[in-house]
Amino acid sequence: MKHPPHIALLQRILGYIETKTFEMEERESAVPVARYTDEACHRGEVESLFRRHPIAIAHAGQIPEPGGCLAHDLLGVPLFLVRDEGGTLRAFLNVCRHRGNRLVDTAADGKACRMKSLVCRYHNWTYALDGALRHVPLQEEAFPNLDRAARGLVALPVEVRHGLVWVVPDPRGTIDLDAHLAGIGVDLDVFGMNEQVFYQQRATRVRTNWKLIIDGFLEGYHIRRLHSATVAPFFTDGLAAGDRVGRNLRFAVARREIAEIIGQPEDTWDDRRHVSFAYFLFPNTIMVFHPDYTSHLGMFPQGTDETVFVHTMVIPCAPRTEEEDRHWQRSFELIEGGVFQKEDLRTAEAIQAGLRSGANEALTLGRVEYPIRWFHAILDEAMGEADRE
């Protein structure tokens, strides 16, 4: 392990083991319940967080070939990604420039469909893969004044970096990933995100607020309890360390194997064996780096009480045998079905169902749950900045 921020996190964890303490804030805090139930808050978040910042909506490997198209409908505007003839990945509003019909259908499992050109089914206006309007049936008669050059598809800011496709879902927006990932993008390279391959994706609708799901991925306090029947045996209790890096968060959560490195030199530390790393990438992404694969989780709010949870599994290399494929399939089902769905998401739904009961005006955060406070402070800061602009 050579990434200095990772070494520093492990050193802190070893320090806590030695002093028999935990990474904590000075005092408890709280999140008002209204943050998860208020309609105006939801609308403000969509506008201020989800329309103006880069969001990682796919893996480059989901669209490997020229002509690959992938629709995305979770950011409030219909959009799609397409790899053009030259291999460049582009993003467009999924809206025909004639009378607005949809162009690309949504695919199950996040797999791209292949197109030679983009033909609108309604009247067959036809666009090239770079968005240019190429053909209009009966153009001379029906549209003698049409300027085809001005009726290309509407492009969205998009960039591929660290193996992920980042989009700003506003055609007037700009994308600045250097600023967005400052100080943390290098971590994604350390994990080899560029070389890893897309394995599988599942999207599910969950009856909860998107922030409750993220809250649950930001503290290790529940691991030994909620996950007692699944992943708890792999982890220590509450031993973790975290950094705030701009609007992003980096964590190391100690695994059982952490005991092996007490008193051992740093060059014997194996980053993904002794701890699991988890990241929050502003505004809606969680990356969990398990010992042998990565879970990329995207939380997409569809209402105060509804979120689409998109889980993408990324693995070191494509399966070479059926046996390898079965191995990854089992891993995916265990973490997606057994842990995320049955435990984390079901709990987030249960919390949401009780929020309006009046039992709590605020959700209490213990001193070890400080990353949840960080997350909400980051959102407040970004919302405040949007209000000022």
Please tell me the distance from the alpha carbon of residue 33 to that of residue 125, in angstroms, as a whole number. Answer: 49
Going by C-beta distance under 8 Å and a sequence separation of 6 or more, which residues neighbour residue 363? 30, 31, 33, 215, 351
Minimum CB distance to ligand FES smaller for 124 or for 268: 124
> What Cα–Cα distance (Å) separates residue 160 from each residue in 14, 51, 189, 313?
37, 18, 13, 18
Minimum CB distance to Fe ion smaller for 336 or for 344: 344
Number of residues that bind ligand FES (CB under 6 A): 10
204 binds, among Fe ion, ligand FES, none (CB under 5 to 8 A by kind): none
Q: Which of 125, 269, 279, 289 binds ligand FES (CB under 6 A)?
A: 125
97-116 binders of ligand FES (CB under 6 A): 98-101
Q: Which of 49, 60, 93, 120 binds ligand FES (CB under 6 A)?
A: 120
Residue found under tokens 């900045």: 385
Going by C-beta distance under 8 Å and a sequence separation of 6 or more, which residues neighbour residue 194? 162, 163
Residue 189 CB, nearest distance to ligand FES (Å)? 41
Minimum CB distance to ligand FES smaller for 151 or for 367: 151
The answer to whether the beta carbons of residues 194 and 163 sit under 8 Å apart is: yes
99 binds, among Fe ion, ligand FES, none (CB under 5 to 8 A by kind): ligand FES
344 binds, among Fe ion, ligand FES, none (CB under 5 to 8 A by kind): Fe ion
Query: Within the chain, how many helices (H) and strands (E) appear?
Result: 12, 20
Minimum CB distance to ligand FES smaller for 101 or for 230: 101
Residue found under tokens 């004044």: 145
Q: Exposed/middle/buried for 330, CB within 10 Å: 0-12, 13-18, 19+?
A: exposed
Number of residues that bind Fe ion (CB under 5 A): 1
333-362 binders of Fe ion (CB under 5 A): 344
324 binds, among Fe ion, ligand FES, none (CB under 5 to 8 A by kind): none
